[in-house]
Structure 1
Amino acid sequence: MKCKYLWQKYNKSLLDNSIFKILLLSISLIFSISIKADVILHAFNWNYSQVTEQADEISSIGYKKVLVSPAYKSTGDQWWARYQPQDLRLIDNPLGNTNDFRIMVQTLKNKGIEVYADIVFNHMANESYKRADLNYPGDAILSQYSSNLSYYNSLKLFGDLSNNYINESDFNPAGCITDWGNAGHVQYWRLCGGNGDTGLPDLDPNNKIVEQQKSYLKALKQIGVSGFRVDAAKHMSNYHINSVFTDEITKNMHIFGEIITSSGAGDDSYDNFLAPYLSQTNHSAYDFPLFASLRNALSFGGSMNLLVDPIAYGQALPKNRSITFSITHDIPTNTGFRYQILDPVDEMLANAYILGRDGGVPMIYSDHNESNDGNRWLDLYKRDDIKAMIKFHNEVKDHDMQIIAFNDCMILFKRNHAGIVGINKCGSGQDVWVDTANHNLYWYRNYKNVLNPTEVQYVTSQWHKFYLPPRQAKMWLMQ
């Protein structure tokens, strides 16, 4: 969910029904899309030209996909303005235009990197402060188009830029969401701020709107986009989502929804929103259940046991439907979600887990300090530890994961014989003796820690001790 408004607190509780969970998993396996677990760089609020300029660096680090901010007509310098669409028929916003977008996609494609587009189909821009009607893009923008029609037509993705393409009849009735546990209320009413704000106009998924949105997606596919992030999917009915994302559009595409939940099984936000989304679509989703498991495991008094097999307990999404992360842009930029920000060391440990484990598609977030957190995530994508973790991930991604040892403080797991990950969240070191024969670790080979290449484990016997220092992660890669 995107915008400058103060977000409401999400409710907790989920129907913890074993049969339901088994059915959901079965459905997800039937409809799953085979997606390589390549790391996604979320280039949040980056200019398209900046992504183009950094293509060589992005490729050299090992990213295979880049998610960029919404590409359509929008105005305003604030990050949240990108999530208030005025016109889908062309790309023209402070991040760049259609030509910039095309160049970026082609440049990344030449480097073997796919582009994913962030899309907003739930609502249009809140422009009640400047006009009362719900005609989009509005007379002022149409006048702008007409003043230089050849230029704007050169940016056109579809449609006729001489007319408004959305009007009053294309919106649900006005009204602000007040019952955040009621799916119908959340999906058919508006995201509003305070002080009498009328909210983001909520689109009615009528035939005209659906066809326009499909035309937009087809145009982005034609340019070369390989995936779509569905923003505010929690606020769209699954009828709307499935009407737009037809077989023609989803073919060879990776699609995932943003549905923020407080936890997994046993949580109302999961039961009412994320579980139906997974069961009624073939899309992936942000793995907020796994993120909650990470927060709980790494918290004071929490246990790393929670990370041994969270999927089995409904506390992580199926591996083939999961987008994993340690931070998303909504968490630091919206007051209601900032409680989910991890301690910096815990975030590093969480990154080691999601980039060390198998399953899911890891996403690394990198911004321009939009949240005013002291540049904490500025250039995160190329921080030394992230680069090392991506190297480990790419080297072992075809190897299965097996747990070796765990307790409240630590977890040690391997990727067959190719790599070993150890994470110790506690303030004291942990000695872990491993039966290397039983766990198929190769003897007389160096296992080098990618996070500190001077640290090498040389296995020469059946029992080998792995030492995990306090508050550190180790990612040993077989040489």
Structure 2
Amino acid sequence: MQVIKTLFKRQLIRLMLLITPLLFGGYASAEAILHAFDWHYDEVAAKATEIKNLGYKAVLVAPPLKSNAANCAWWQRYQPQDIRVIDHCKGNKQSFVNMINALNDSNPARKVDVYADIVLNHMANERGGATDFPGQAALNSYSSNSSYWNNQKLFGNLSQGLFSPWDFNPANCISNYNDVWQVQNWRLCGGAGDSGLPDLNPNNWVVQQQRAYLSALKSLGVKGFRVDAAKHMSNWHINQIFTSTIKNGMYVFGEIITSGGAGNNEYNSFLSPYLANTDHKAYDFPLFNTIRSAFGFGGSLSQLVNPAAYGQALQNNRAVTFTVTHDIPTNDGFRYLIMDPTDEYLAYAYVMGRDGGKPLIFSDSTGTDNNRWVNAYKASHISKMLNFHNRMQGQGMEMLAWNDCAILFRRGQEGVVGINKCGSSQNFNVNTNGRFYWYRNYRDALSGANLVYISGGNYTFSIPARQARMWYAD
């Protein structure tokens, strides 16, 4: 029976690829997000003009909360001590506001929105497993240095604590990541006796404080929220926090890590219900896994023709697309997902060339992997792909040709993208009638050359080995 189901699925995929005209995308707005991972807020502000000139439309920044300012390890920003103030190794409320102002612009076309990474699932693992936050030492500091801390305050009364032991779920560690109840109500623990991150209970008090937190950030000018560890929160809790007032005018997307799309247990148990029961966007892990499979040994780039048609990519208007996230290189459990550098380059051409989703460009400050992603936001290939991406806004998408090694697709009449993962050049002869401008140069954004000039009803596009071409109409 399983063999029959597998064969049926394969035939269905082939049928969809053959009969679908593949003019899809819905003209979705797909403005790119720079993930300034663990950058100091002052660094983002200092580079505001450069970020605008490169063409980014949003920057995702470090969580605005109080964490251990004496420890600059990136994960400290994901262990909140207090959400009523902003103070950590990468900045405080003053630098946060200054960054927002620096990214603003009198010219709306150049304005860059700030998306805040927010941590709502848990508090810090510290002080011997205590569950009173922020703790007496912090309250004493608030009192003795009230001038400073009032300047960092977002909301609330700093003379009192925020959360008490009854605001947390029982101190049980998740042991079965396929059990939805455990994943959404128990603690993330590191093993070897680790007591885990205190998991917040969605009672009325907790929800009220979380709403106040998001409202305060919104009032400062934040335009979007990345919900960290959304997989570990119930959809009911998420919907209680994100009222229509908070969501109005905001871009909200959740982090729900899965190892596949439709048919995958993680997708069926967590991501699919999240999309069905909220109106939020999400990281497109189904597409990421499709990309990895397509570029992997034995994979076929035909898998990238229309993966959403068979549930292996999110719908365009719900997707944040990527080739690497901060968790992949910085967490041992996800490092197997790191792509070969050339494959990552080619995958970026796909993500930045296609219509749909908001591409997220990871630019690291930790220096992991010999600084591989440090300053990635302005790498030559990224800036050129971003230029192409912005040129193609509002253009539909049609797949023109594909095989195991390569794909070719157009963006309206304005552009065409070719990607070749194999070790020999690939040629595709396509009908150009009504698809392209004739007697006009198309220039490759990546090289500035490799001109295409169409003067008849057919043209053969050539894509070199292990390369991409992103031609745009001059």
TM-score, normalized by the shorter chain, greater than 0.5: yes
| Contact 2:28/2:356, CA 8 A, preserved across alignment | no
Residue 292 (structure 1) aligned with residue 269 (structure 2): no
Aligned to 1:104: 99
| Contact 1:400/1:416, CA 8 A, preserved across alignment | yes
Letter in 2 for 1:234: K
| TM-score normalized with structure 1 length | 0.91
Deviating above 2 A after TM superposition, structure 1's stretches of 4 or more consecutive aligned residues are 130-133
Aligned to 1:134: 131
| Contact 1:35/1:254, CA 8 A, preserved across alignment | no
Q: Partners of 1:264 and 1:365 in 2: how far apart?
A: 22
Residue 402 (structure 1) aligned with residue 398 (structure 2): yes
Secondary structure of the structure 2 residue equivalent to 1:212: helix
Aligned to 1:26: none
Aligned to 2:118: 119
Aligned to 2:24: none
Residue 454 (structure 1) aligned with residue 457 (structure 2): no
Deviation string for 1:176-199 (max 9, x for gaps)?
A: 000100110101110001221100
Q: Partners of 1:133 and 1:275 in 2: how far apart?
A: 35
Residue 444 (structure 1) aligned with residue 434 (structure 2): no
CA shift, 1:154, in A, is: 1.6
Out of 417, 420, 423, the residue aligned to residue 419 of structure 2 is 423
Out of 152, 176, 180, the residue aligned to residue 177 of structure 2 is 180
Letter in 1 for 2:401: A
Q: Partners of 2:294 and 2:395 in 1: how far apart?
A: 25
Secondary structure of the structure 2 residue equivalent to 1:218: helix
Secondary structure of the structure 1 residue equivalent to 2:157: coil
Deviation string for 1:405-433 (max 9, x for gaps)?
A: 00010000000100000000011111111
RMSD, aligned α-carbons: 1.2
Secondary structure of the structure 1 residue equivalent to 2:39: coil
Deviation string for 1:110-150 (max 9, x for gaps)?
A: 240000000000000001xx345311000111111111112
Q: Partners of 1:99 and 1:290 in 2: how far apart?
A: 38
Letter in 2 for 1:403: M
Letter in 1 for 2:232: H
Letter in 2 for 1:271: N
Letter in 1 for 2:81: Q
Secondary structure of the structure 1 residue equivalent to 2:276: helix
Aligned to 1:45: 38
| Contact 1:108/1:114, CA 8 A, preserved across alignment | yes
Aligned to 2:338: 341
CA shift, 1:257, in A, is: 0.3
Aligned to 1:386: 382
| TM-score normalized with structure 2 length | 0.92
CA shift, 1:369, in A, is: 3.5
Q: Partners of 2:366 and 2:98 in 1: how far apart?
A: 26
| Contact 2:355/2:397, CA 8 A, preserved across alignment | yes
Aligned to 1:24: none
Aligned to 2:141: 144
Q: Partners of 1:336 and 1:166 in 2: how far apart?
A: 31
| Contact 2:28/2:316, CA 8 A, preserved across alignment | no
Deviation string for 1:285-328 (max 9, x for gaps)?
A: 00000000100111111001100010010000011000000000
Letter in 2 for 1:122: N
How many residue pairs get aligned? The number is: 443
Secondary structure of the structure 1 residue equivalent to 2:269: helix
| Contact 1:352/1:389, CA 8 A, preserved across alignment | yes
Map of 1:111-260 to 2, 5 A cutoff?
111-127=110-126, 130-260=127-257
Aligned to 1:12: none
Deviation string for 1:162-221 (max 9, x for gaps)?
A: 111111000000110001001101011100012211000000010000000000000000
List runs of 5+ in structure 1 lacking aligned partners: 1-15, 17-33
Q: Partners of 2:262 and 2:459 in 1: how far apart?
A: 38
Q: Partners of 1:440 and 1:295 in 2: how far apart?
A: 30
Q: Partners of 1:225 and 1:132 in 2: how far apart?
A: 32
Secondary structure of the structure 2 residue equivalent to 1:118: strand
Is 217-226 or 102-111 further displaced after alignment? 102-111
Residue 266 (structure 1) aligned with residue 266 (structure 2): no
Aligned to 2:431: 435
Secondary structure of the structure 1 residue equivalent to 2:34: strand
| Contact 1:285/1:322, CA 8 A, preserved across alignment | yes
Is 207-216 or 133-142 further displaced after alignment? 133-142
CA shift, 1:468, in A, is: 0.5
Aligned to 1:84: 79
| Contact 1:369/1:376, CA 8 A, preserved across alignment | no
| Contact 1:285/1:321, CA 8 A, preserved across alignment | yes
Q: Partners of 1:197 and 1:105 in 2: how far apart?
A: 37
Aligned to 1:93: 88
Q: Partners of 1:431 and 1:168 in 2: how far apart?
A: 65
CA shift, 1:454, in A, is: 2.0
Q: Partners of 2:306 and 2:435 in 1: how far apart?
A: 21
CA shift, 1:460, in A, is: 1.4
| Contact 1:430/1:469, CA 8 A, preserved across alignment | yes
List runs of 5+ in structure 2 lacking aligned partners: 1-8, 10-26
| Contact 1:73/1:92, CA 8 A, preserved across alignment | yes
Residue 61 (structure 1) aligned with residue 54 (structure 2): yes
Q: Partners of 2:191 and 2:443 in 1: how far apart?
A: 54
Q: Partners of 1:454 and 1:474 in 2: how far apart?
A: 10
CA shift, 1:35, in A, is: 7.6
Secondary structure of the structure 2 residue equivalent to 1:373: helix
Q: Partners of 2:472 and 2:256 in 1: how far apart?
A: 35
